[in-house]
Every structure is written in C-alpha cells, then in structure tokens.
Structure 1
Amino acid sequence: MKSKVWLWIVIAVVVIGAGVLVLNKKPAEVAKTTEVAGFNPDIFVYAGSGDAETLEPSRAYDTASSEIIYQCYDNLVAYKPGSLSEFIPMLATEVPSVENGLISKDGRTYTIPIRKGVKFHNGAELTPEDVEYSFERNMLADPVGGPVWMLIEPLLGASTIEDYACELAGVDDFSKVNAANLLKTAQAVMKAVEVKGDNVVFHLAQPYPPFLSILARNSSWTVILNKQWMIEQGDWDGKAETWTQWHNLDTEKQTLFEQAMGTGPYKLVEWDRSNSKHTLEAFADYWQGPAAIKTVIINNSVTEFNTRKLMLQKGEADAIYVPVENSPQIEGMSGVNLLRGLPRLSNVCAIFNQNINATDNEFVGSGKLDGNGIPADFFSDLNIRKAFSYAFDYEAFIKEVVLGEASVPYGVIPAGLNGFFDEKGFRYSYDPEKAEEYFKKAFNGEVWEKGFKVSLIWNIPNTTRKTACEILAAGIEAINPKFKVEVQGMEWATMLPRRREGRLPMVFIGWLADYADPHNFVYPYLHSKGDLITFTGENGRALAAKEFDPLVNAGINELNPEKRVEIYTKLQKKSLELAPHLMLYDSCDRVAMKDYVKGYVFDPICPAQYDFYALSKTKE
C-alpha cells in the first residue's frame, strides 16, 4: 500500500474553554462582568522575561519581537486550525493551488487575489500595491542576520540581496557593485513581485515547495505594510534607483524599530523600552471583527520567576512565562491552568566550533593539545565530535532537568516533518564505552595520551543550559582523568561578541521553526550558508559544502513528495554520521494562565505564546 508522504505533522491541539479562533468568523461576544478583586474582562496582562529587540519585520528574528508583530499585522494566508500543511485565506481571498490555477504547473508562479475592504490602523484601505511594496521593501532592506533570506531564496535564488547583487556584478564584495548592477538588482526584485489587477503575482526563481508556509501567519517577515504611510515616515520611496539608502540600516534607524502600522487585530499604543512593557489596544475596525479583550499589556521586565508566580496567584497577571524547571511550582495552583509537554517544532543543540579563534582565548587554555588546552581545530576531528555526542546523558537530562518535557533527537529534523525517522539504535545515546573508543582514535591517539582542557559557556540565567554543560562535562571527565572540562556562566551581552568572534568552543543554541518544512531545519543546521552552521567555522562550512549542500539544494527544488522524503531522510542520517552538532533534545513548551482565560489553542510553530485575538476572560 502506498504510504502518505506529503508534509504532515500530528498536532496535539490543546483548547481551553470556548471561543476558539476560526478565521473569517467573528469571535463570540463576551458579556461584561463586574470587576471584582482586580478581575477585568477587557484587560489581559502577560508577565514575561526578555524584551523585544525590534518591531521591524525585516529584522525581527527573535520570539519576543515576533510576538508583538504577530498581534499587530496580518499575512496573506494562515495555517488551517489543527494543521501545518493546509492553509486558509487571510488577506488573500483564496489559497493558491495548482488545481485552482493560481499556482503554475511548474511551481514557479503564484497568483494571489487580495481581499478588499480591509483597513489599516490609520484607516487606509488595503490595496495590492501595499502587498507588493511590503515584499519588495523587505527584500531590499534585508538586514544582515535577519529572516529575509526566506524570501530572497525562492524569489531570487540567492541567500541575501547582497549576494544576488555581487553575483550579478561578478564581484565578491557588495561595496564593489556598480550603480548599474544595483539598479538591476532592484529591478529583479520588482519583477519577482508584481501587481496584476486585484492580484499580486510572485515569480519564483525555482520551484519552492514550502513557499506558502513562508507567506503564512506566524511569519513576521511576510506581514503586510501600508505603503503610503511607510513613505510618509521616510522609508523607501518605492523607486529602484534609491533602495540602497534603506538597505541594512542600523536597527534603531529603521522606520518600524519601535512602531507598528498593520491590519492586525491589535494596535501598538506604546512600547515603554525602559520598562520592557508593550501596550496593545484592540482595533475596532478589524476586518474579522474586534477582539474580545480590549487592552493587552505585555510586561517583559519581570525577570524573577517568584515575582511572576506571585502576580499569577494574586490575579495581577492573567498568564506568565514559566521555565521548565519551575513547572512543579505551578502544578496544582488554585485557579490556574498549567499545560505541559506541548510539542514544539523546535530543538536545542551544542554546535562544535571547528575553527576556534584561539588568539588570547581563555576558553581554550594553552591553545595546544598538551593537556592544558585544545587546538583551534580540535572539533574538526570527527572522532572528537562523536565522542562528545556519546558522553552526554540524554535520558537523565530529559528526566531530571526538563522534567520529561522533551525527547531525544534523531538528528536535526524534529518529529513530525518529512525526513524524520526513529529507527531503533540509529541515534546518539549515553554510551561511555563508545565515547572512550572515539576519544582513543582522535588525533591519532594523542588526545587519550595527553588529555585536554576546555571551557563550556552558558548564558546567564539559562540554568537549563548550565545543567546541560555540567552533564556533558561530567560525562567526559569520567572517561579519562586527563580530560578537564570547565563550565562557565556569562551574561548574554558579554557572550554575544565572543560568539560572533568565534571564541566559544561550543555554542549552545535553540532553533524554533520559521515554517513547517524540513528545509527550515536542514538549511540553517547543515547548509554551508546556514545561520547555525556559521558557528562551526571555516572547516565546518567546508564540510557542509561538500557533504550537505548538494542534498539540501536537491530537497528544496524537488516537487515530487516521495523523492523529497528520500532526500531528507538521507540528510537526517548523514547529520548523525558526521555530527556537526551535538543535538541535545527536541523541545516542548508549557503555558500557565488563570482558569478564567478562554479560547486558548496551542500552536507548535507560533512565535507568540498567546494569540490574544482568540482569547476572552470569563468567570463562571
């Protein structure tokens, strides 16, 4: 029997109360209730930790920033409730497909009819030109390190707008691109996204199976902006000749750094940056009907969990952020719903830096393989990477540290996506004997004879990563007394420049899916130009270019679903064989909210923990 091989994911949809959001339907009206003991059905307070970096859609690539953008803007399509492979219209009136003729048979042209009568927060009406401008503007802005590569890759066949311009000009430095080729670059962007009547037409450089996923709600980089308002604020004027004036601007110089103008259910009233607090107000003219909750306050200044817990107990917050280690303190709390083990399309790893910047670097000791340090290319030896991978006690970590809210990974692709497999025995597990075997092979036996000393760095206050470092250190040191692994905590602001400079021997980091397709994991983790493979250094990128790039490129260009599965399965297995990263665990999430909060639905890919438009507050 032929199996189903299209992109799929089994979602454990968790719903609390009534009033679950269904697109194109107005939420149920919530009766006004008398305010008692601070309860106000019109106001929702969320207490979190860690503020947004920016509200600029072309740059925002962190969950705190994306959470605000999510509430204030709309996308062309949205995921169908309960699915990450089917879509429903949002600002589009119809989801394009080959069957309805809105996707060409070769998969390279997408025609999207734009909804009429939709208003922006300033009262202006949405037009196809706004949609066209939004995509062109973001592609040309393309801030370094931002998410716009996900548009440039399918539409231009490049990784960044600078790469595209350099290739066009035949140079290796963007500063050397002449005016003629800069103009051609903008013209190529404008040709890729065009208005035809009431439709916006996307012309792809090559077939790109996950293109609709990239357009879908949850993607901050494809939200729709108001062209005229943006120009009035001093942003790009829409002319091909001027785009470089707005390209890769400093974060705080971008128009939307701390303001928002969208068509979404909430308007941004204020971002109090000094107090890490965002205030949102329901948009009365929202095209799907006004939200039940009129005011949302997102307070990200509450860094202490005990303070957040007390706020939840007293009703000063309707929901709070709960780190996994604190879940037991919320369990059974009166008047509170705690949902645990919610499966995220996310994983956490430790990246092996195969070209450590060893100059004046305290993390590598002597910088030599002499028992008092490690050489810069220490992790270039596959035996070292395999030994470290077998020295980590995955099961103990998941049971004792993340309290069962995770699973042992089978590679870079998490469960639920094409290419994932769970063949028994085909994954790393805690095996000191195998770790010893590979340590003895490393560097022709020198590692075992001389030993080494290395530091593992975790970002304060992430105690989960601290414990992961400690478990790995203990596992390694138990194998040979000559192995010394120090665990050191460092403030995020201090650690970031050292990470950029390539000084960290291992980089502990998590990845939350941008969209529901295996390409969004294999590209950042395995492609030589991926965001995460960058931390492996020159040797790691060279390994990726040789071993992974051909398969990653083949997977994204393949339209046959069965062949895509075969390609991603090969990538998954190869990622285990070559171990460019130590994959620690596939993530789960948790939420804690008052029991009078209704309408919550868990979304495994949403950057926002809460879709406030779907919620209401009702005391029974």
Structure 2
Amino acid sequence: MRFFLLALAALAGPVSAAVKNPDTLVMLTGITARSLDPASAYGGSDLFVKYNVYETLIENPAGDLSRFGPLLSTEVPSPEEGGTVFRFPIREGVRFHDGGELSPEDARYSLMRFMLADRAGGPSSLLLEAVTGLGSTQDEGGAPRSDVFARVSRAVSVEGNTVVVRLERPFAPFLSVIARWGVVVDKEWAVARGDWDGTREDWPRLNGSKSEDFPFHFETNGTGPFRLARWDRKQDEIVFERNEQYWGTPAKLSAVRLIKNEDFNTKRLMLLNGDADSMHADPTQLSLLRGAGGVRVIEGLPVLGVQALYFNASINTKESRFAGEGVGPDFFKDRAIREAFAHLIDYEGLIDQVYRGNAERATGFIPRGMPGYDTELPPYRYDLKKAEALFRSARRGRVWERGFHLVLPYASWKDSDGVVARQIAAAARKINPKFVIEVREFAYPTLADMLKKRAIPLYFGGWRADYADPHNMARPMLRSGGFYQSNFGFGDPETDRLIDSARGEPDPDKRAELYAKIRRRWLETLPFIALFTEQWARVERSWVRGFVHNPIYPGAPSYSPLAPMFKKE
C-alpha cells in the first residue's frame, strides 16, 4: 500500500459542478489493451472493447447468470441429441459497422476462426474444448494437428438461416461459453483485408499466429452499439463512437474515451475536477474517495472470481530471483509446509483492515453466486501455533532448523496483495526469525515472464470466471495443463478425472456432487490457498447514470455495458 496517499484524504473535491462533456464518457483504467482481435482478446480492456463493439449469438442478461437471452441469434437453443446439437437462427436485417449485412456464414466463420487461431495466451481453448474436447489445436511440437480442421469444420455448419453446432460429446456449460465467447465478425470484410480466407489450405497461416499480423488486431467491424473510432497506442487511449445504424436500442452516449493511467493521484484529481467520469480503484484506495464531493462510490459489488496463493511444485531455481537460501526446487512439495503457510494468514483481520469488508473468505475454488458454491469454510485458519508445529515437522525438522529465504512478489497494480504479503512475512518471522520472506512489487509483465519460466515459488493469483460455470474455475485453477498448474505442477490425476466427469454431466445435482468431491480433493492435496472472493467497488462521478453491474462482465464493476449509460446532473 502506498501510505503517502493518505495525505490526499484532506483534499476536498467540488461539491457540485455542471456536467462536463455531457455526451462523452471518460474512463480511467490501469490496464492497457493488447489486442482488439476477438480471437486474442483476453484481458479486461481488450474484452471491454470486444463486448461493446461486437456481439455474441446469445447473452447472459445482467444480474441473472442462470438464464440466457437471444442476441444475434433470435432464439436460445434447446440442446438436442443428448446435449450435443445446438441450433442458432441468425437475426435478419443486422448490419456491421461498415454496412455489410450479417449472415449465417459470418457466424460460422467467426466460431471456426476463434477456435482455429489458438494463439499463445489466447482464449481459443474455451470454445475448442467445448466443441471438440481438445485443449489445443497443436501437437507437442507446436505444429497444427492434422485432424483439427476437419473436426472443427464438421462441428459448425449452416442450414438455411441457422448455424448448427455439433459437439463431439456433451459439454454441460456450452451455452455459457457461447454467451461470452460466441462473437461474430464480418467474413467478407476480414478476407478482403488479408485475414484467414476460411479454407483448410490457409488455416496454418492463422494457427498460432501473432495477433498483430492480422487486421482484427488494430481494426474492428462488429454489429454492437458502439464502433471503434480510434486506438492511440502511444497515448494508451481508445475512443468509441455511437453506432448510428444499430439494429437494437441505440446507445445514449455519443462517444466514450478509455484512457490508461496508473497514477492514483492523477486519476483522483481528474475525477474530482470532472475531467474523468469513472476510475478504477484498489480496495486500499477507497478511503481516499468516499465522501468526495461529486463522486459516487458503489461498494459490495460481487465478481465471479477467487483470489489464491499458489505453491510451485518444481521451482526453476536456476532462473529464479525469488528462491533464496533454503528454498530448493521441491521446497513446496512437502504438504506440511503448504499447510503451515495456510495458518500464517490472518484472513478475518485482512478482510476488515485491507478490504474494509469488501471481501469474504473464499471457501474453495468456486465463488459465491456460481453453481457448486460451498458455504463451509476450509479447516485452515490463522493459527501461529499450528503453523509452528507444521514447520517443525517439515522435512524432519530441517526447515525449522535452517530456515528459508524467499521473495513473495505482487503486481504493482494490486496494492492489496502487497498488504497480504507483508502480513504473511511478519507472521513467518514472528514464529522463527530464520524465516525470511521479502515482499517486492513488480510490473505484471515481469511476473508473467517469470511465471512461464516456473521461477516464482509462491504467487498471488486471481481467477475471474471466463463464463458462468464452475468448470471454468476448476480447470484453470486445478487441472493438469490448466492455466495455473501448467506453471506450478501440482496436477493430480484423480482431480483431473473428477473435473472431466463434471464437465459433461448434464444433471445439475450430480454435477454438484462431483464438484463437492473436487473440493474435498483440493483440501487433501492443497496446491493453493484459497484467500478471498472480492467484492469490488465502482467509482464514478455522481452525474453518471445507467451503470448495470453484471458479475461475469470482464473488468466489472469498473467496466460495464456502455449502451445504457449517460450523464445527467
């Protein structure tokens, strides 16, 4: 936490002021966009652009993640043939921003392109897994698999005005995936600009490619209520303008500016002066914003995500700047050490002091509001005597006798992780002065690079759901080959088996039983400590109207659908 910010608390914002730029919304964010390509966009700002410029076949109506509504498809399909066939009738009379007319072939092309691009760090696997059961289109050497194109092409077809998707096997959360990732682009526009032409022969050029080598990286052409006016990469600013030809209810704002600015002082002053309409704020910064004149702070907004502390089972000590004396490659393979760390954390104290109540203790890998959530707290709690006993027992007492030295890093944009890290470090040193944990702040790109190299022994990692289903929490957090265990190596065959069974189980009660078993297995193996499910706050000028919170929306609540928003005194 940057304690010098407390000096700003005495500053008072204007009590009231006329609405500045009433037709334009100015938003300040801490994260820049990396790509505008729907097949690459996976971060908050990328997805914010995506969901306001493009549209999906169906959607999750705001505030209700248990149902779906039609969007570019005129109907939400009912599963056929044992849950493997879904039919999407395509809405007629819809036009892309350049004037081209939406067709079923556009939808087929879009779904295929999304799966077949399969770029490093991209979202292709979300739909690819649902449709084909594959986690990747590439073999172990990184080359395109020879059977993938035929399988994807066979799975997505056009029958009249309907797009038909045939799954190779039942996938319970398929509609949840489509509601978030079934974005439709203009095939004719794409091909004319040198993108993939839709054929098997041209597919290898797309597969595993660099996003910036294709037109969708820099340009957009969707059907959504806003169109991209400008992406200024030097100034880190994205400008939207209203789509005057939108097929649905038109947006109320004429324009929106999304500006990256990581400096809290600057963001706060811009907000107080009315030069910005909303800003992202970490929970540790909210005390400097509550009660400011002309500013509204909406707290307690749930998000579908879990914050966790991950252990590395095979630390790359040769390239690690984080593993010091006493921390070998297999340091965290000893379960006693992992459980001891779980007892070092003052969960309730941190929720009260850091989050000011805007969080609750995570009960596992499934957040509240999602099917499979368990209300029972994990058995580990803040208990230094228990932690000491476990450390003394680890590796036949050698850990206690020799101590250890490691660096616990946190991302520069997340001060709250830094506070948690310092509490852990202080607790460890309190029970044994030989336990030295250095807390250091790093830019996220540096952490991401070290993460890929398996060089970080202990890591703060959050997972915000990509779609509203527990599979998208279990797979990235627990399964072998998932996002975290591919970097930390705590995959477990029994956990994998249970996750795969739950993925295809159509019966909600049986699925719930499977996720309860997965939770029990997680507690037995303890590859990570479930910390908190955060309740985020939205900070905006009081003249902003139309904010709608949807916990599955990327970057919520700082980001939200733009179409219903407007400004009024």
TM-score (structure 1 length as normaliser): 0.86
- Name the structure 2 match of 1:65: 46
- Name the structure 1 match of 2:463: 511
2:332 to 362, 379, 391: 379
1:57-100 Cα offsets, whole Å, 9 max, x none, are 11111111111111101101111343101011000101112xxx
- Name the structure 2 match of 1:87: 68
Q: Distance in 1 between matches of 2:57 and 2:314?
A: 42
Cα displacement (A) at 1:352: 0.4
- Contact 2:31-2:44 at 8 Å conserved across structures: no
- Name the structure 2 match of 1:319: 278
Q: Distance in 2 between matches of 1:44 and 1:133?
A: 34
Which SS does the other structure have where 1:464 is aligned? helix
**Which stretch has the larger CA shift, 526-535 or 121-130?**
526-535
Q: How does 1:191-340 map to 2 (within 5 A)?
A: 191-216=154-179, 219=180, 221-300=181-260, 302-340=261-299
Which SS does the other structure have where 2:297 is aligned? strand
Cα displacement (A) at 1:600: 1.2
Q: Distance in 2 between matches of 1:504 and 1:426?
A: 25
1:272-294 Cα offsets, whole Å, 9 max, x none, are 01111011000011110321101
1:451-498 Cα offsets, whole Å, 9 max, x none, are 222221122243212111111111222222222212222233333322
1:583 aligns with 2:526: no
Q: How does 1:101-180 map to 2 (within 5 A)?
A: 103-162=79-138, 166=139, 172-175=140-143
- Name the structure 1 match of 2:497: 550
1:569 aligns with 2:516: yes
1:601 aligns with 2:543: no
Q: Distance in 1 between matches of 2:413 and 2:509?
A: 44
- Contact 1:406-1:585 at 8 Å conserved across structures: yes
1:204-224 Cα offsets, whole Å, 9 max, x none, are 0111111111111xx2x4210
1:391-424 Cα offsets, whole Å, 9 max, x none, are 111111111112211111111111122222122x
Which SS does the other structure have where 1:387 is aligned? helix
Q: Distance in 2 between matches of 1:320 and 1:458?
A: 21
Cα displacement (A) at 1:40: 2.9
- Contact 1:351-1:535 at 8 Å conserved across structures: no
User: AA paired with 1:380?
Assistant: K
2:507 to 553, 556, 560: 560
Q: How does 1:342-357 map to 2 (within 5 A)?
A: 342-357=301-316
- Contact 2:336-2:393 at 8 Å conserved across structures: yes
Cα displacement (A) at 1:596: 1.9
Q: Distance in 1 between matches of 2:253 and 2:448?
A: 38
Q: 1:461 to 1:189 in 2, by over 3 A?
A: closer
Cα displacement (A) at 1:105: 4.2
Q: 1:305 to 1:360 in 2, by over 3 A?
A: closer
Q: Distance in 2 between matches of 1:174 and 1:334?
A: 55
1:410 aligns with 2:363: yes
- Name the structure 2 match of 1:618: 568
Cα displacement (A) at 1:129: 0.2
1:181-206 Cα offsets, whole Å, 9 max, x none, are 63x42121110100000100001011
Q: Distance in 2 between matches of 1:382 and 1:197?
A: 58
**Which stretch has the larger CA shift, 269-278 or 450-459?**
450-459
User: AA paired with 1:517?
Assistant: D
Q: Distance in 1 between matches of 2:419 and 2:104?
A: 51
Give the unaligned 5+ runs of structure 2: 1-16
Q: Distance in 2 between matches of 1:417 and 1:610?
A: 20
User: AA paired with 2:246?
Assistant: Y
User: AA paired with 1:237?
Assistant: D
- Contact 2:465-2:552 at 8 Å conserved across structures: yes
- Contact 1:410-1:428 at 8 Å conserved across structures: no
Q: How does 1:381-530 map to 2 (within 5 A)?
A: 381-423=334-376, 426-530=378-482
- Name the structure 1 match of 2:10: none
1:5-62 Cα offsets, whole Å, 9 max, x none, are xxxxxxxxxxxxxxxxxxxxxxxxxxxxxxx856233111112222111111111111
- Contact 2:240-2:256 at 8 Å conserved across structures: yes
- Contact 1:410-1:427 at 8 Å conserved across structures: no
User: AA paired with 2:286?
Assistant: S
Which SS does the other structure have where 2:397 is aligned? helix
- Percent identity, please: 36
Cα displacement (A) at 1:449: 2.4
Give the unaligned 5+ runs of structure 1: 1-35, 98-102, 167-171, 366-371
Q: Distance in 2 between matches of 1:95 and 1:618?
A: 36
- Contact 1:596-1:617 at 8 Å conserved across structures: yes
Q: Distance in 2 between matches of 1:71 and 1:437?
A: 53
Q: How does 1:530-545 map to 2 (within 5 A)?
A: 530-537=482-489, 540-541=490-491, 544=492
- Contact 1:133-1:238 at 8 Å conserved across structures: yes
User: AA paired with 2:479?
Assistant: H
- Name the structure 2 match of 1:47: 28
Cα displacement (A) at 1:511: 1.0
User: AA paired with 1:204?
Assistant: L
User: AA paired with 1:118?
Assistant: V
- Contact 1:38-1:316 at 8 Å conserved across structures: no
Q: Distance in 2 between matches of 1:336 and 1:211?
A: 40
Q: Distance in 1 between matches of 2:61 and 2:412?
A: 38
User: AA paired with 1:250?
Assistant: K
- Contact 1:71-1:611 at 8 Å conserved across structures: yes
- Contact 1:419-1:572 at 8 Å conserved across structures: no
- Name the structure 2 match of 1:27: none
Q: Distance in 2 between matches of 1:154 and 1:161?
A: 13
1:264-317 Cα offsets, whole Å, 9 max, x none, are 0101010001111011000011110321101111111x2211211111121111
User: AA paired with 2:525?
Assistant: L
Q: Distance in 1 between matches of 2:518 and 2:233?
A: 43
Which SS does the other structure have where 2:445 is aligned? helix
Cα displacement (A) at 1:255: 2.1
Greater than 6 Å deviation, 4+ residue runs: none
Q: Distance in 2 between matches of 1:482 and 1:462?
A: 28
**Which stretch has the larger CA shift, 426-435 or 231-240?**
426-435
- Contact 2:62-2:549 at 8 Å conserved across structures: no
